[in-house]
Amino acid sequence: MPDTHSPENKGFGQGDPALARWAEEVFRPEDEVLREIRERSIREGLPPIAVGRFDGLHLEVIARAIGALKAVEIGTLGGYSGVCLLRGMGVHGVLHTFEYSEKHARVASDSFHKARVASRAHIHIGPALQMLREIEAEAPFDLVFIDADKVSYPGYLAWAADHLREGGVVLADNAFGFGEIHRPGGDDGRAALRKFNEELARGGRFRATMLPTAEGLAMGVKIR
Q: Is the pLDDT of residue 1 over 50?
A: no
Three-state SS at 205? coil
Q: Which domains does the chain have, with CATH numbers?
A: 17-222 (3.40.50.150)
Helix, strand, coil abundance in the chain, percent, nearest 5: 45, 20, 35
Per-residue pLDDT reduced to its tens digit, 180-189:
999 999 999 9
H or E, element range at 34? helix 32-43
Per-residue pLDDT reduced to its tens digit, 57-105:
999 999 999 999 999 999 999 999 999 999 999 899 999 999 999 999 9
Q: Is the pLDDT of residue 8 over 90?
A: no
This prediction has a pTM of 0.94
The Cα-based distances of 2 to 6, 14, 16 in angstroms read 13, 22, 21
Share of the chain above pLDDT 90, in %: 91
Cα separation of the two ends of the chain: 47
84, 56 contact by CB (below 8 A)? yes
The Cα-based distances of 22 to 16, 17, 26, 27, 61 in angstroms read 10, 9, 6, 9, 19
**pLDDT band (50, 70, 90) for residue 16:** confident
